[in-house]
Amino acid sequence: MKIQTLAALMLAAASISSVNAQAPAASDKAAMRQASPDQVISSVAEQLLARIKQDREALDKDPQRLYAMVDEVVLPYFDFPLMSRLVLGPAWDKAGDAQQKRFMDGFKTLLVKTYGNALLQYSNEKVSFSEAEPGSKPDRASVASTIQSPGADPVTMHYRMRQKDGRWLVYDVVVDNISLVTNYRGTYASEIKRAGLESLIDKLEKQAAG
Amino acid sequence: MRAIQGACIALVVVLAGCAHRPAHDPADPLESVNRGIYAFNMTADKYVMRPVAQGYRWAVPGFARTGIKNLFQNLGYPVTIINQYMQGKLADGTADLGRFLINSTLGIAGLVDVAGYWGLPAHDEDFGQTFGRWGVGEGWYLMLPFLGPSTNRDLVGMVLDGPLNPTYHSENSTTIWGLSVLNAIQTRAQYLNADSLLMQQIDPYAFMRNAYLQRRWSAIHDGKPPREAEPEFEAYDDF
């Protein structure tokens, strides 16, 4: 029991540090400042694929390890506060600070799990990246990536990014023209309309824990 | 059959009065019925379709699955060609006609996507998209038994698409059933990787509804939907 609590705490600490703390070393930080949106996406993808290749069995067996890996490699490049705000829409402004934080934590855990499990599905796929397309404003861009698996139509993903303090961060992932932010937003809006924000947060926390 | 098609066209004219609604605020007056059918579909999927599709992916090598996928895409291609023309996209329609002829002959009845290698990409059009292009709203969201998500408009479109598939005119019912079952399996197999995304949702029904409507809206605009479709979201997008 104690070991499990400790593990959970360490995981929590790791996730907090990966979101709040900036990149580990000053030189890395400087390098990431220079990185263009497509460089960010392809370097994260390369790291992920390398980690999965090297550690596949352990990651398959131990979901916590998988989630910690996603937390470490992927999360620093996601703009979670912005995603949470976009997903909640008008409900974000009406929510109190504590509610906002609880929502963000639940949503983040859920996304890490979803992303991690989706990642394990892939094995022999060919992934290619294209150059970043400029967005509607200078601090926005979108990077397309195409996943080709045998027997399936190619799936195109768009990573929508914005530049924050010099670094490019992802705020939406569009899979096959389905924006995940819009999708979560629609789903959560119906729940808020039906039973309120508190009920949505409860459900998220339950799902995140389960 | 003709009477059904006539009735469909009449229905489309009626539906033309419906406006498009953004995916995050869908018209779903049959929600309680739809949810019942969804639960039924998911049970059937869990015990039959999903295991069969997993078996298919495990047993059939990748190149063969690609061939089978190409075959069905080619069989359905007359639907795409006709709807390209009906949407006034003459150049695309003609390119797609060329694609169909090349793949049906050199591509061995569609098994090999020769035209794709030559730089003629595959498109996907149907009557539902054509009606959408003409300004027909989607009407109500529908969950069909076994067939999955649809809308009034897309259901009407589907009935009109059917006769354009060469399989439909086969005299041999074994052929029709065999091909339909194989197509269902290979289509389901393509979506296996998306299962974990759906299962992690607090409300998978609403998530699927939203995904379906977004995807159709985007398909009507050939992948480039106007963003003003969601004015509320735009306001929040202004960060």
Q: How many CA atoms lie within 13 A of A80 on its CB side?
A: 22
Q: Could you tell me which residues come within 8 angstroms of residue B230 by beta carbon, excluding any fewer than 6 positions away?
A: A182, B22, B23, B24
The 10s digit of each residue's pLDDT in A169-180 is: 999 999 888 899
Chain B contact present for A123, CB below 8 A: no
Tokens 């390890």, residue located: A65
- Predicted TM-score (pTM) of the model is 0.83
Residue B58, chain A, CB below 8 Å: the answer is no
What is residue B50's predicted lDDT score, i.e. its pLDDT?
96
Identify the residue among B25, B191, B197 best suited for mutation to test binding to A, counting A beta carbons within 10 A and taking the highest. B197
DSSP B27: -
- Could you say which residues from 65 to 94 on chain B have a Cβ atom under 8 Å away from some Cβ of chain A? 65-66, 68-69
In B, minimum Cα distance to A119 occurs at B193
Q: Which value, to the nearest 10 degrees, does the dihedral of the CA atoms of residues B174, A153, A173, A66 take?
A: 80
Q: Which long-range contacts (CB under 8 A, 24 or more apart) does B196-203 make?
A: B196/A114, B196/A117, B196/A118, B196/A121, B197/A114, B197/A118, B200/A110, B200/A113, B200/A114, B200/A117, B200/A207, B201/A187, B202/A187, B202/A191, B202/A200, B202/A203, B202/A204, B202/A207, B203/A187, B203/A190, B203/A191
With tokens 């620093």, the residue in question is A76
> Is B111 an 8 Å CB contact of chain A?
no
Q: How confident is the model at residue A45 (pLDDT cuts 50, 70, 90)?
A: confident
**Residues in chain A closer than 8 A to B25 (CB atoms):** 186, 189
- Tell me, what's the pLDDT at B13? 56
What are the pLDDT digits (tens) for B191-227? 988 888 888 888 999 999 999 999 999 999 998 887 6
Contact flag B24-A86 (C-beta cutoff 8 Å): no
**Distance (Å) from the alpha carbon of B6 to chain A's nearest alpha carbon:** 33
The answer to whether the CB of A133 falls within 8 A of the CB of A141 is yes
The tens place of each residue's pLDDT in chain B, 239 residues long, gives 566 666 666 665 556 556 777 766 788 999 999 999 999 999 999 999 999 999 999 999 999 999 999 999 999 999 999 999 999 999 999 999 999 999 999 999 999 999 999 999 999 999 999 999 999 999 999 999 999 999 999 999 999 998 998 888 888 888 889 999 999 999 999 998 888 888 888 899 999 999 999 999 999 999 888 764 444 445 555 55
Q: Using the beta-carbon criterion (under 8 Å), do B203 and A190 form an inter-chain contact? A: yes
Between A86, A110, A178, which is nearest B211 by CB?
A: A178
Identify the closest residue of chain B to A177 by CA–CA distance: B215
Q: Which residues pair with B149 in a beta bridge?
A: B143
C-alpha triplet B75, B104, B129: angle, nearest 5°: 40
Residue B108 tokens read as 């061995």
| Residue/partner pairs of A69-74 with CB below 8 Å, 24 or more apart | A69/A116, A70/A112, A70/A115, A70/A116, A70/A119, A71/A11, A71/A14, A71/A15, A71/A18, A71/A112, A72/A14, A72/A18, A73/A44, A73/A47, A73/A48, A74/A44, A74/A48, A74/A112, A74/A115
CB-based contact (8 Å) between A83 and chain B?
no
Distances (CA, A) of A58 to A55, A68, A112, A210, B22: 6, 12, 17, 20, 43
Q: Do B200 and A117 touch (CB under 8 A)?
A: yes
Asked if B190 lies within 8 A of A153 by C-beta distance, the reply is yes
A163 in helix, strand or coil?
strand
pLDDT at B239: 58
Question: Does the beta carbon of A149 lie under 8 angstroms from any beta carbon of chain B?
Answer: yes
CB contact under 8 A, B193 and A113: no
Q: Do B62 and A124 touch (CB under 8 A)?
A: yes
Backbone Cα Rg of chain B = 19
Alpha carbons A81 and A101: distance in angstroms, whole number: 9
Q: Find the DSSP H helices in chain B.
A: 2-15, 31-44, 50-59, 62-75, 77-86, 90-105, 114-117, 127-133, 152-161, 173-190, 195-199, 204-220, 231-237
Cβ–Cβ contact B234 with A under 8 A: no
Give CA separation, A98 vs A90, A95, A199, in Å: 16, 8, 14
CB contact under 8 A, B189 and A189: no
State residue B12's pLDDT score: 58
Checking A194-198 for CB contacts under 8 A at 24+ apart, the result is A197/A88, A197/A91, A197/A94, A197/A95, A197/A99, A197/A103, A198/A99
Contacting residues for B59 by C-beta, under 8 A, at least 6 apart: none
Residue A124 contacts B, CB cutoff 8 Å: yes
pLDDT, position B153: 95
- pLDDT bucket at A20, cuts 50 / 70 / 90: very low
Work out whether strand A155-164 and strand B141-144 pair parallel, antiparallel, or are unpaired: unpaired
Q: Is A148's Cβ below 8 Å from some Cβ in B?
A: no
- Residue B145, classed as helix, strand or coil, is coil
Cα–Cα dist B215/B229, whole Å: 13
